[in-house]
Amino acid sequence: MIEEEDYKTLRDSIDSFENFDNIALARRLEEHKLLENRRLAAHLYKKNQKWDESIALSKQDKLYKDAIVTAATSSLTEVAEELMTYFVDIGNKECFAATLYSCFDLLRPDAVEEVTWLHGLSDFYMPYKLQVQRTQATKVRLCVFTVCVMLILVMVDSWRLWRRRLESERRRIRKRSRQKLKLR
């Protein structure tokens, strides 16, 4: 399939079967003249959690969407931030913004803000910043709500305990009163 340059069938086989040397095939494909075969090499690296190799191939062939998807799939802050910095370094503002969107949960807001400030990318950064602020506000509201619920539960529990003690004390007083009445 490699020699025939039938990348569609090869992709289907790669995704359907597991019993082959993924990395050896990826190494063979990454040197191929056909772009789609090199893209399959990046896919194989991604599938085997070789994030750096996959992203390097995607960057080499300017398949930036694939690189961004791989960074997001990695779930690693370092990988996402490295790709973000790469896009800033090459001056690709649109891919910088796409990385902020796709890797939102992986990127550290302070690192993003620093890169943005140093390179004058505030127009591309602002939607990300607003979403970070909204997410933080939501988390704070959730924490406040959780603390309030916990306080209410503690108060209810304390009230129940106080009520039990009060009832116990009332019973004790009634019992003593009855005993005193019997003694008279």
| Nearest CA-CA partner of 60 in 42, 85, 75 | 42
- The position carrying tokens 């704070």 is 140
Model-level pTM greater than 0.75? no
Amino acid 163: pLDDT:
87
Report the distance separating Cα 92 and Cα 56, nearest Å. 16
| Nearest CA-CA partner of 57 in 26, 101, 17, 94 | 26
Amino acid 118: pLDDT:
94
Amino acid 173: pLDDT:
86
The residues near 128 (Cβ < 8 Å, ≥ 6 apart) are 97, 100, 101, 104, 112
Instruction: Please state the domain extents for the chain.
Output: 49-183
Structure tokens, 176: 């003593």
Q: What letter represents residue 16's amino acid?
A: S
Interior CA angle at 31 toward 21 and 20, to 5°?
10
Report the distance separating Cα 74 and Cα 144, nearest Å. 32
Amino acid 17: pLDDT:
67
DSSP annotation of 127 reads H
| Nearest CA-CA partner of 98 in 87, 90, 108, 110 | 87
Amino acid 7: pLDDT:
63
Amino acid 4: pLDDT:
56
| Nearest CA-CA partner of 133 in 112, 153, 109 | 109
Amino acid 9: pLDDT:
67
One digit per residue, the tens of pLDDT, for the chain of length 184 reads: 555 565 666 666 677 767 777 788 788 888 878 888 888 889 889 999 999 999 999 999 999 999 999 999 999 999 999 999 999 999 999 999 999 999 999 999 999 999 999 999 999 999 999 999 999 999 999 999 899 889 898 888 888 888 888 898 888 888 888 777 777 6
Amino acid 176: pLDDT:
82
